[in-house]
Structure 1
Amino acid sequence: MQFPDDDNGKMLAAMADAGIDLTKALNVDFFLVFEDQRDAESALEALVQQEAEGEVELHFDEDTETWEVIVCLNMVPDYDALVAKETELNAFANEFDGGSDGWGVMQHQEGDGDFADEEHQCDDNCHH
């Protein structure tokens, strides 16, 4: 697969190289960053009131000392769809003095192999 030479394209290429099936829906986390807690809470409240698609949560990032609203959407990680959603969410966050800080995908999701560690042996304590 060929991807554009930008951050989104590089992320998709890395995902493909890692063996992630980009034709299937994945949980994609979009990160909206705010300096002020009240701005982040207002943005979160607006998303909830709009009954926005996906799940939302508020998180304080101790490393950057910023507030993140994380919007998790189940979607096929298509380049154009990701760029459109990121642009939409950035415009939304700007209304609350915030901005988009990209997106990401958890490495292991439903449908992935159970374990990256091929040495794992199941026993009575396994819960998968």
Structure 2
Amino acid sequence: MKFPKDEDGQVLKMLYKEGVDFNKPQNVDFFVAVPDKMKGESVLKTLKNEGFECEIEQDEETEEWTCYCYVKMLLVYEDIVNIQKQLNDLSEPYEGYIDGWGVMTG
């Protein structure tokens, strides 16, 4: 299987090598970094209004806030890129930005 040579393509390649089934929908976690709790809650509300399943958490060590969005989907490069762009555009007014994605394996 061929993957684009960017960061998203590399993550997909790694998941493929780990034996993740690309023919079955996977639970993909998208991470949206937010500057603080108040802006994070605004991002959360906006994303939920757009149909995303999300929650906000603060990292105990770094004290940084992150809005986690969960999407059950096939691991298709273009779809992952498009969802990241959508999340980024929706969170930008609150100083949020997409900070990666992942799939639980094993």
Instruction: Calculate the TM-score normalised by the size of structure 2.
Output: 0.93
Structure 2 CA distance, aligned partners of 1:51 and 1:13?
29
Q: Which amino acid aligns with 2:28?
A: V
Q: Deviations over 1:80-127 (max 9, x none)?
A: 00000001101111111110001101114xxxxxxxxxxxxxxxxxxx
Aligned pair 1:52/2:71, yes or no?
Answer: no
Candidates 65, 84, 88, aligned match of 1:90: 88
Report the structure, 1 or 2, having the larger helix content: 2
The equivalent of 1:6 in structure 2 is 6
What is the alpha-carbon distance in structure 2 between the residues aligned to residue 57 and residue 51 of structure 1? 14
Structure 2 residue 11 is the aligned partner of structure 1 residue 15:
no
Q: Structure 1: 5+ residue runs without aligned partners? A: 109-128
SS of match in other structure, 2:32: strand
Matching of residue 25 in structure 1 with residue 25 in structure 2: yes
Query: Aligned equivalents of 1:88 and 1:4: distance in 2?
Result: 20
Larger radius of gyration: 1
Q: Residues 60-99 of structure 1 correspond to what in structure 2 (within 5 A)? A: 60-99=58-97
Residue-pair matches, total: 106
Higher relative contact order (CA 8 A, sep 6+): 2
What secondary structure does 1:95 align onto? helix
Structure 2, gaps ≥5 residues long: none
Amino acid at match of 1:94: E
Q: Percent identity?
A: 37
Instruction: Report whether the alignment pairs 1:39 with 2:68.
Output: no
Could you tell me how far 1:51 is from its partner in structure 2?
5.0
How does the TM-score come out when normalised to structure 1? 0.78
Shift of 1:11: 0.2
Q: Distance in 1 between matches of 2:61 and 2:8?
A: 23
Partner of 1:111: none
Once the two structures are superposed, residues 54-91 of structure 1 have per-residue CA deviations (whole angstroms, 9 ceiling, x without a partner) of x2111112333211111100000100000000011011
